[in-house]
């Protein structure tokens, strides 16, 4: 996929904390999935795309470095979870002032409609937006995080629970924070209070902090068939 430079960038800094390879993927498929995820956000014309990963990803992302809005943060150690990795990426890549902060794991992607979600978030007053999709209860996956609502689904979010398939709304793994200050304050609260799941810090805990403070947190639903686990075809072969 060719990397194309573009003007009119969306004022979002997307951070892709891809430190931990999913168990179902081989190393080569994992690298391809991460590169595809990065390429997708570069193509969406966000102001900055930062990949946080291990030295093993160095060769795979070579072509991506042609894009001026791409930055690779190489870590020689394993932070405790995606939230910690994202903070390292933000600290190392010097996010521009006024940029919103987005998080997306390297092995998932929303393949359609994400442009509208990003634009609606930029134009909204939301402190945080959670991108999610509806699922049949029977297909619940314990590797996802789940959105629990207060009242009906037009109400505010009550909580996001990691690996707890007790809701029919799952997050896509994409979280959007209004700015770096809000994101870092939320992350700091998680670290100080050690809000971990399986000894890992997740972005969902940072969102739960904002919910507890009664900040404006929105959910944007995308169609289930637009959510893709990258590399799954390769894993099935």
The model's pLDDT over 179-211, given as tens digits with 9 standing for 90+, comes to: 999 999 999 999 999 999 889 999 999 999 999
Q: What is the count of structural domains for the chain?
A: 1
Whole-angstrom distance, CA of residue 40 vs CA of residue 56: 21
Whole-angstrom distance, CA of residue 121 vs CA of residue 129: 7
pLDDT over 90 (residue 150) = no
Residue 235 is predicted with a pLDDT of: 39
Confidence grade of residue 92 (pLDDT, cut at 50, 70, 90): confident
Q: Is 120 exposed, middle or buried (0-12, 13-18, 19+ CB in 10 A)?
A: middle
The answer to whether position 4 is within a domain reads no
Largest CA distance in the chain: 48
pLDDT over 80 (residue 233) = no
pLDDT over 80 (residue 155) = no
Confidence grade of residue 33 (pLDDT, cut at 50, 70, 90): very high
The answer to whether position 105 is within a domain reads yes
Confidence grade of residue 23 (pLDDT, cut at 50, 70, 90): confident
* Ramachandran sector of residue 231 (left: φ over 0; alpha: ψ -120 to 50; beta: rest): left
Residue 235 or 134, more confident: 134
Task: Tell me the whole-structure pTM to 2 decimals.
Answer: 0.90
What's 91's domain CATH number? 3.90.550.10
Residue 216: C-alpha distances to residues 39, 167, 235 (Å):
30, 21, 39
| Residue 22 DSSP SS3 | coil
The answer to whether position 82 is within a domain reads yes
**pLDDT single digits (tens) 100-134:** 999 999 889 999 999 999 999 999 999 999 999 99
Location of structure tokens 């430079």 = 5
Question: Which among 47, 46, 79, 81 is positioned nearest to 202, based on CA atoms?
Answer: 81
Residue 129 or 163, more confident: 129
Confidence grade of residue 144 (pLDDT, cut at 50, 70, 90): confident
Q: Which two tokens stand for residue 159?
A: 């909580």
HSE of 94, CA atoms in CB hemisphere, 13 A: 0
Residue 151 is predicted with a pLDDT of: 73
The answer to whether position 158 is within a domain reads yes
Residue 233 or 218, more confident: 218
Asked if residues 173 and 105 have their Cβ atoms less than 8 Å apart, the reply is: yes
Residue 153 is predicted with a pLDDT of: 54
The answer to whether position 237 is within a domain reads no
Strands (E), the chain: 10-17, 46-53, 70-74, 100-103, 108-110, 128-134, 145-149, 157-162, 169-177, 217-221, 227-229
The answer to whether position 1 is within a domain reads no
The answer to whether position 162 is within a domain reads yes
Q: Which domain holds residue 71?
A: 10-232
The answer to whether position 2 is within a domain reads no
Determine which of 53-62, 80-89, 146-155 has the lowest per-residue pLDDT on average.
Answer: 146-155
Chain centroid offset of residue 208 CA = 15
Residue 139 is predicted with a pLDDT of: 63
């Amino acid at each position: 996929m060719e990397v194309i430079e573009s003007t009119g960038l969306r004022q979002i800094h997307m951070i892709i904390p891809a430190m931990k390879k999913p168990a179902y993927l081989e190393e080569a498929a994992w690298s391809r999935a991460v590169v595809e995820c990065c390429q997708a956000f570069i193509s969406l014309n966000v102001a900055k795309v930062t990949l946080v990963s291990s030295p093993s990803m160095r060769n795979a992302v070579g072509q991506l470095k042609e894009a001026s809005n791409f930055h690779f943060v190489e870590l020689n150690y394993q932070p405790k979870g995606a939230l910690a990795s994202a903070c390292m990426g933000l600290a190392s890549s010097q996010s521009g002032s006024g940029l919103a902060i987005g998080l997306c794991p390297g092995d998932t992607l929303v393949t359609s409609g994400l442009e509208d979600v990003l634009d609606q978030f930029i134009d909204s007053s939301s402190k945080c937006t959670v991108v999610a999709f509806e699922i049949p209860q029977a297909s619940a996956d314990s590797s996802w995080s789940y959105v629990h609502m207060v009242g009906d689904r037009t109400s505010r979010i009550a909580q996001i629970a990691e690996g707890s398939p007790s809701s029919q709304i799952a997050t896509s793994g994409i979280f959007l924070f209004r700015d770096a200050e809000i994101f870092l304050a939320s992350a700091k609260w998680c670290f100080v209070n050690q809000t971990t799941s399986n000894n890992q810090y997740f972005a969902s805990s940072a969102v739960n902090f904002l919910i507890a403070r009664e900040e404006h947190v929105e959910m944007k639903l995308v169609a289930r068939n637009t959510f893709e686990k990258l590399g799954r075809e390769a894993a099935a072969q």
